[in-house]
A and B are shown apart, each in its own frame.
Chain A
């Protein structure tokens, strides 16, 4: 049964299967593979329909920079919610590597981080253990921001 995630500001069914770190068998259907599996099975995986990859917090996007056209989705794992490396990875994916596909937060992040994640280029959130409907409200915590980021490339001082 598909689970629910937040994507582009609405709650949707999730079709993707997230493969854990030690996976060796590759199932049918839309899958999100760990970086290690991508690196070891590139030949089999490349060109596959509906392919995603996930990066752990010590796996910066430069590992997949040259292969991004293979992925409909890049997921970034937050092993603990206070590990903030993923925020920079999101920005790097969008700004440095100009990735246009889905950038999904997975793992232990919490709803209070959604506003910042969105600003850093994430557009999908596999948020566990929270009421998704009320979590949507947190995107509206702040009406605007001082800094330039992915959602607003112009800083406040250039807009006012």
Chain B
């Protein structure tokens, strides 16, 4: 993973000092609330319903055991002993004191972490595939490019006060695990016919109030032009994006209003001024960035022997078999596997993790996966390089600490924002809805019979819980001061991305689990030969679901 040099460290330390000064001036009354707001937001500090919330960056979702232990320490010392992994591969602390945030940042800086640009109308943390550098279906590791973008976007002087927040995601594999079509800029690493690396770039995707799937702006951008091209897009957006209405300020609205061709023309005009200039990336810079992401030192393992042994273990212990099938993915190195640690255990808020669990993950990562950890946008954790022969031992530890729920990509592995319990923006609570659904569908055989289902819950239109792209989406809405839930079907975040369609009138919180049950029963009655939930919906349409749910 990326390790700071002296200069990276200096910049982060200087940011801590800068923010400490800003906090002191605010507390002394020298900065108004209005002025302090974007300053603290650019450093990940929100003021929430009950307390401030601090969002700590995990660049492109990769971090290590030492950093995880620091997060455990911070959550214990400055917070209430837990954290929450978000859909942006970041971690949020729900109860820090505003006065103590500079000290927290100083502690984070000790382990090469920060909260820079985790919020505010600026370029946010670049995200990518949680299996990057390990996935069997990967063309290249996207993280060296993410790191190049991280540097470019950090304290970018021109783009710190954009019309609205700006999110960039990379993917480099057959399956799009980073939902790049749902980002302001989505970047796919591709090779041309001569085998040269370049980028296919999508622009104007996003969720929120007006969900839009990104549109291709360039099919193949040779890799050396990455930064100049991004800069051109951002400069056009910064000048032309709407600033009169925050709900129409994202780049998706601009691209749609101008049309992709006119937008592309503007970008090309800007790019002509920057192209081949000093920001053009050099081969040395690519090599330098790649040198931080070399594969770990794998041990030579006979893959078929390892598989055979796993099969035997799975037969002897069906619990292990379930877990192996759902929470373990194919690795690019023979004899290795990718393990997802589920943070979706019934009784706990999706994505939440205690200080003790954080330390347990740090230990497991050191013991089984070269001390490296990933956070996924589905709010789970990943140990990316585990020897197959150690899977059983890892599973037993994961069980002890509550990470072994064998549900990855199944119904109870839902994405869920913190909702009205914490968030000042939310219209409705989301956590009790998630909890009620997990409790109702706790029968594991029933869940497996349903096959893979993405169920995503957002507490408001801002769509932090990605409800638009859930196969089943649940959105909290406010109706005359009461909390209701609107349900949509047919969303997808993969390559065949689609936005869910609203089923009909919304429901009370108490009704939601039964409605979900009716939807699932309708699916079961409609499906043909093991057809997935999504495929069945796409074939049969919304009507049969509507009928069964709203039948008198």
Known: A85-B239, A141-B18, A154-B278. Contact between A115 and B157, CB under 8 A?
yes
Among A82, A91, A119, A142, point to the contact of B14 (Cβ < 8 A).
Answer: A142
Indicate if the CB atoms of A95 and B273 lie closer than 8 Å: yes
Indicate if the CB atoms of B35 and A110 lie closer than 8 Å: yes
B158 interfacial by beta-carbon distance below 8 Å: yes
User: A154 contacts which chain B residues (CB < 8 A)?
Assistant: 278
Interface-facing stretch out of A14-22, A64-72, A145-153: A145-153
Indicate if the CB atoms of B278 and A148 lie closer than 8 Å: yes
A153 to B158 Cα, complex, angstroms: 14
User: A156 contacts which chain B residues (CB < 8 A)?
Assistant: 7, 151
A47 to B418 Cα, complex, angstroms: 62
B197 interfacial by beta-carbon distance below 8 Å: no
Known: A84-B162, A84-B238. Contact between A158 and B7, CB under 8 A?
no
B235 interfacial by beta-carbon distance below 8 Å: yes
For the complex formed, measure the closest distance between the CB of B238 and the CB atoms of chain A, giving whole angstroms: 5
User: A142 contacts which chain B residues (CB < 8 A)?
Assistant: 11, 14-15, 18, 155
For the complex formed, measure the closest distance between the CB of A59 and the CB atoms of chain B, giving whole angstroms: 11
A34 to B235 Cα, complex, angstroms: 24
For the complex formed, measure the closest distance between the CB of A142 and the CB atoms of chain B, giving whole angstroms: 5
Indicate if the CB atoms of B158 and A146 lie closer than 8 Å: no
User: B152 contacts which chain A residues (CB < 8 A)?
Assistant: 146-147, 155
A120 to B156 Cα, complex, angstroms: 10
Indicate if the CB atoms of B38 and A158 lie closer than 8 Å: no
A95 to B124 Cα, complex, angstroms: 26
Indicate if the CB atoms of A87 and B273 lie closer than 8 Å: no
A144 interfacial by beta-carbon distance below 8 Å: yes
A141 to B156 Cα, complex, angstroms: 14
Name the residue in A60, A147, A148 with the highest tally of chain B Cβ atoms < 10 Å from its Cβ: A147
B:241-291 near A, CB below 8 Å: 243, 273, 277-279, 281-282, 284-285, 288
For the complex formed, measure the closest distance between the CB of A89 and the CB atoms of chain B, giving whole angstroms: 8
B78 interfacial by beta-carbon distance below 8 Å: no
For the complex formed, measure the closest distance between the CB of B13 and the CB atoms of chain A, giving whole angstroms: 10
Known: A116-B160, A141-B18. Contact between A153 and B278, CB under 8 A?
yes
A157 to B282 Cα, complex, angstroms: 8
Indicate if the CB atoms of B238 and A157 lie closer than 8 Å: no
Indicate if the CB atoms of A96 and B273 lie closer than 8 Å: yes
Total A-B pairs in contact (CB under 8 Å)? 100
A143 to B243 Cα, complex, angstroms: 32
Please give the number of chain B residues whose Cβ is less than 8 angstroms from any Cβ of chain A in the complex: 38
For the complex formed, measure the closest distance between the CB of B267 and the CB atoms of chain A, giving whole angstroms: 13
A:34-72 near B, CB below 8 Å: 60
B161 interfacial by beta-carbon distance below 8 Å: yes
Indicate if the CB atoms of B151 and A112 lie closer than 8 Å: no
A:111-144 near B, CB below 8 Å: 112-113, 115-117, 119-120, 141-144
User: B10 contacts which chain A residues (CB < 8 A)?
Assistant: 143-144
Known: A85-B239, A110-B35. Contact between A155 and B155, CB under 8 A?
no
A95 to B158 Cα, complex, angstroms: 13
Known: A84-B161, A146-B154. Contact between A112 and B39, CB under 8 A?
yes
A158 to B161 Cα, complex, angstroms: 27
A84 to B249 Cα, complex, angstroms: 13
User: B273 contacts which chain A residues (CB < 8 A)?
Assistant: 95-96
A24 interfacial by beta-carbon distance below 8 Å: no
User: B243 contacts which chain A residues (CB < 8 A)?
Assistant: 83, 85
Who on chain B is nearest to A137 by CB?
A: B21
Indicate if the CB atoms of A91 and B158 lie closer than 8 Å: yes
B22 interfacial by beta-carbon distance below 8 Å: yes
User: A100 contacts which chain B residues (CB < 8 A)?
Assistant: none
Indicate if the CB atoms of B14 and A143 lie closer than 8 Å: yes
A143 to B6 Cα, complex, angstroms: 12
User: A95 contacts which chain B residues (CB < 8 A)?
Assistant: 273
Indicate if the CB atoms of B239 and A60 lie closer than 8 Å: yes
Indicate if the CB atoms of A146 and B151 lie closer than 8 Å: yes
A119 to B273 Cα, complex, angstroms: 18
Known: A87-B238, A157-B285, A160-B7. Contact between A148 and B157, CB under 8 A?
no
For the complex formed, measure the closest distance between the CB of B59 and the CB atoms of chain A, giving whole angstroms: 13
B:105-154 near A, CB below 8 Å: 121, 151-152, 154
User: B156 contacts which chain A residues (CB < 8 A)?
Assistant: 147
User: A113 contacts which chain B residues (CB < 8 A)?
Assistant: 160-161
Indicate if the CB atoms of B278 and A145 lie closer than 8 Å: no
A142 to B160 Cα, complex, angstroms: 15
B:272-329 near A, CB below 8 Å: 273, 277-279, 281-282, 284-285, 288
Indicate if the CB atoms of A83 and B7 lie closer than 8 Å: no
Known: A158-B278, A158-B282. Contact between A149 and B158, CB under 8 A?
yes
Indicate if the CB atoms of A87 and B157 lie closer than 8 Å: yes
Among A87, A96, A145, A149, point to the contact of B161 (Cβ < 8 A).
Answer: A87
B159 interfacial by beta-carbon distance below 8 Å: yes
Indicate if the CB atoms of A141 and B14 lie closer than 8 Å: yes
A positions within 8 Å CB-CB of B:
60, 81-85, 87-89, 91, 95-96, 110, 112-113, 115-117, 119-120, 141-149, 153-158, 160
| Known contacts A84-B158, A112-B22, then 12 further A-B pairs from the complex at CB < 8 Å, ordered by chain A residue | A82-B121, A83-B243, A84-B162, A85-B243, A91-B158, A116-B158, A119-B158, A143-B14, A144-B10, A145-B157, A157-B285, A160-B7
19 contacts between A and B (CB under 8 A): A82-B121, A82-B161, A83-B243, A84-B159, A89-B239, A113-B160, A116-B157, A120-B158, A143-B11, A143-B14, A147-B151, A148-B278, A148-B279, A149-B157, A154-B278, A155-B227, A157-B285, A158-B278, A160-B7
Q: Give me the 3 closest cross-chain CB pairs, A-B, nearest first.
A: A84-B161, A119-B157, A116-B157
